[in-house]
Structure 1
Amino acid sequence: MAATRPVALVTGASSGIGKETARAFVAAGFDVVGTGRKTSGLTPPAGVTYLDLDVGSDDSATALVAEVIERFGRIDVLVNNAGIGAAGAVEENSVAQAQSVLNINVFGVMRMTKAVLPHMRARGGGRVINISSVLGVAPQPFMALYVASKHALEGYSESLDHEVREHGIRILLVQPAYTKTSFDTNAAQPDTPLPLYAERRRIFDEVIAEAMSAGDDPAVVARTIVTAATDKKPKLRYTAGPLAARVTKARRLVPVGVFDKQIRKNNRLPG
């Protein structure tokens, strides 16, 4: 039986931004399905149904969407939030590690989006909200794999939005800055570390830890996601929090050389 309320499906909802987003959708009047790799034993927020999902698996993505449709009869909003961080110099990340990160952060989004689009098209509407980052528009040394995944997500989302808009579907991007989550501690570490980068990596770890501790509360990002889901006239991109707004504006307006120097200064790099 179809739910009478709109249904939001939020991937990576067992903690951090995803969990706060699930709560925010409940408060906004949605039925909410949140996913995690292993949700048994977890207590979902009130009003949220937890289901298992591995975004790295075609079969898991297809089965999850089918189960949500069977239980609720509809999916009005998909929030592609599940993702993984990655640290280390590019020389320290194997191609296999790069493939693993992109399989979750990029192909995982593609799997879930392809699974929901036929249903949304048949219903004549829906929104897919992809969680990008300020690092989808700006560089970050020693996070190149993650940055590459978010830049890819930006181009994918904007292109797809043009394809499906005539069917009543919008593909939207939310760009958080640093957020107070366990993201940095859970990031994939380089699988082929090199001594020549050890000191730079140590400094990078300090920079990121400081940025995360001063970052936005996940609820700030969650509110922005719900805004994107419910705006009568949605925008392609939504920045979440004041730092994200400053960085994206600077990327557009600040001269390239000045922006480049600021990146190096922020990361305590020479020159």
Structure 2
Amino acid sequence: MRHGFVIGNTDGIGLALTRRLLAEGWAVTGMSRRPAAVEHDRYVHVAADVATPEFPPSLARALDAAGGVDLCVYAAGVGDLLDPDDLAAQTRVLEVNLIGAARAVEVVVPRMLAAGGGHFIGLSSLADTLITPVAPGYAASKAGLSSYLIALGAALRPRGVHVSTVRFGFVDTKMAKAPVRPMMITVDRAVDVLMRCVRTRAAVVSYPRRMAVLTAALGPVARARARLGSR
């Protein structure tokens, strides 16, 4: 039986993906700070905060208990808007979105390499091309995540381990905090995209495509504005 780990599955995409994997016959281990609303004989939940030093050993123990991992999806994420009086919140965004993912890779990938195969998926964002004063930590964390996973995937593919970077635009979850959310998709549609990625093991998935084109075009403009604003 295929075993998947979903890190960050209390709600949103992670929770919906957990349910979809179970419906398609997977055994699933979920990890998040709070319990997920899932009850199934093929589901195990592990409480863990990805921004703490306890996360890697907790993940390692869960992997050992599962006896292997075919798929690991890093869906943990936060996206606090900038409050100049609370810059610690931006640090937390970097810790959860980027460093937490790197910690997961550090624990999961060696086991996949030892087993001769596996698939790691990280949920990034189309914001990885932007520089935005509204949410600088979020954009920076996703830029770092995309860069890291794309490069890692190129290095690991010859050894049988696949790494995918899934770059979503606006998804209808609590993370979508912007006042304007063009081309927003449903959580179910996001899970459809993820399940297709599970099957194809594509290195990079950007969705919606029109939004990907738009953000790519806006990236240089945002950088120029940021440079002008710093003078």
TM-score band by shorter chain is 0.7 to 0.9
1:35 is matched with which residue: 13, 20, 31? 31
Task: Tell me how far apart the structure 2 counterparts of residues 43 and 99 of structure 1 sit (CA, whole Å).
Answer: 29
Contact 1:11 1:80 in 2 (8 A): yes
Q: What do residues 7-27 of structure 1 show as CA deviations (whole Å, max 9, x unaligned)?
A: 110011110110011112123
2:82 to 74, 82, 88: 88
In the alignment of these two chains, the number of paired residues is 224
**1:246 aligned onto 2:210:** yes
Q: CA deviation at 1:99?
A: 2.4
**1:60 matches 2:55:** yes
Match of 2:116 among 124, 140, 143: 124
Q: Verify the 8 A CA contact 2:59 2:104 in the aligned structure 1.
A: no
Structure 1 distance, partners of 2:219, 2:78, is 29
> Among 152, 156, 159, which residue is 1:164 paired with?
156
The aligned runs of 1:124-163 (5 Å cut-off) are: 124-163=116-155
Consecutive unaligned residues in structure 1, runs of 5 or more: 186-207, 264-271
**1:66 and 1:256 mapped to 2: Cα distance?**
41
Pairing partner for 1:182 from 174, 191, 211: 174
Distance 1:98 1:183 in 2: 14
Return closer, same or farther for 1:228/1:15 CA change in 2, 3 Å cut-off: same
Query: 1:189 maps to which residue?
Result: none
Percent identical residues? 22
Q: Residue type of the partner of 1:22? A: T
- 1:64: how far off? 2.3
1:45, CA displacement in angstroms? Answer: 5.0
CA distance in 1, matches of 2:15, 2:150: 26
Task: Give the distance between the partners of 1:105 and 1:256, measured in 2 at CA.
Answer: 20
Task: State the distance in 1 between where 2:185 and 2:39 align.
Answer: 21
In 1: Cα distance, 2:202 partner to 2:176 partner: 29
TM-score, length-scaled by structure 2: 0.86
Question: Could you say which residue in structure 2 is the equivalent of 1:114?
Answer: 106
- Alpha-carbon RMSD: 2.6
Is 1:23–1:45's contact at 8 Å kept on the other side of the alignment?
no
Higher relative contact order (CA 8 A, sep 6+): 1
2:7 aligned to which of 6, 11, 21 = 11
Q: Which residue identity does 1:38 align to in structure 2?
A: R
Task: Determine helix, strand or coil for the equivalent of 2:147.
Answer: helix
The answer to whether 1:230 aligns with 2:224 is: no
> Is there any run of 5+ residues in structure 2 with no aligned partner, and where?
226-231
| Larger gyration radius, structure 1 or structure 2 | 1
User: Are residues 1:75 and 2:69 paired?
Assistant: yes
Once residues 86 and 128 of structure 2 are traced to their aligned partners in structure 1, the CA distance between those partners, rounded to angstroms, is 20
TM-score (norm 1): 0.74
TM superposition shift of 1:210: 4.3
3-state SS in 2 of match to 1:211: coil
Partner AA of 2:185 in structure 1? D
Q: Is 1:216 the counterpart of 2:211 in the alignment?
A: no
